[in-house]
Amino acid sequence: MNKKYIVRLTQDERKKLERLISKGQTKAYRIKHAHILLKADADGPAWTDEEIAEAFCCHIRTVEAVRRRLVFRGLEAALERKRRAIPPRERILDGEKEARLIALSCSQPPEGRSRWTLELLADKMVELKIVDQISYQTVRRALKKTS
């Protein structure tokens, strides 16, 4: 099979990858991607994609994707995972809703309470129809960001 994206590493890139592998002080997928690039190097071992996938227990498409990222976006992008274009789900609190939450938390607490709790804030946000539903943990994360 003809390879569409040919990996040709410079001496500096090869040294950087070998250092990254030998230290082992980084994420496992970065080490795996470094191994893939070193074995796929046309000026080095030039293994086939099938051999690389079998040796490092990954899918052939992973090898192809790492090659493609190196060719189009460079070494650092090839070492990283592909970023999601669209998050798995929409954020509950956008900037405006987060601002309303902060304003609410700075206001006077309800009658009979000395301060706002996360549960009270979550319930009040639903009661005021700012959001349809919200977890107290989402409220906590939003307030923690602003301290």
- Give yes or no: residues 105 and 132 share one domain: yes
Structural domain range at position 137: 95-146
Q: What is the pLDDT of residue 145?
A: 78
DSSP assignment of 10-37 equals -HHHHHHHHHHHHH--S-HHHHHHHHHH
Q: Is the pTM of this model over 0.75?
A: no
Q: Give me the residue label for tokens 């040294």.
A: 15
Residue 89 lies in a domain: no
Number of other CB atoms surrounding residue 25 within 10 Å: 7
56 within some domain:
yes
* Gap between the Cα atoms of 77 and 139, Å rounded: 34
Is 49 part of a structural domain of the chain? Answer: yes
Q: Residue 112's Cα: distance from chain center in Å?
A: 44
Instruction: Kindly state whether residues 25 and 58 are assigned to the same domain.
Output: yes
- A 10 A CB-CB count for 105 gives 18
* Domain co-membership, 100 together with 59: no
Please identify, among 32, 51, 79, the residue that sits at the C-terminal boundary of a domain: 79
Q: Is 62 inside a domain boundary? A: yes
* Same-domain status, 28 and 67: yes
Q: Same domain, yes or no, for 18 and 50?
A: yes
- 112 and 53 in a common domain: no
- The pLDDT, as a whole number, for residue 3 is 75
Dihedral pair phi/psi, residue 7, rounded to 5°: -95, 120
Residues 70 and 23 in one domain: yes
Q: What is the pLDDT along the chain (147 residues), one digit of tens a residue?
A: 567 899 999 999 999 999 999 998 999 999 999 999 999 999 999 999 999 999 999 999 999 999 999 999 999 999 999 888 888 888 899 999 999 999 999 999 999 999 999 999 999 999 999 999 999 999 999 999 765
Is residue 134 situated within a structural domain? Answer: yes
User: Is residue 73 domain-shared with residue 116, that is, in the same domain?
Assistant: no
Residue 103 lies in a domain: yes
pLDDT for position 1:
56
Number of domains into which the chain is organized: 2
Q: Are 38 and 47 in contact (CB under 8 A)?
A: no
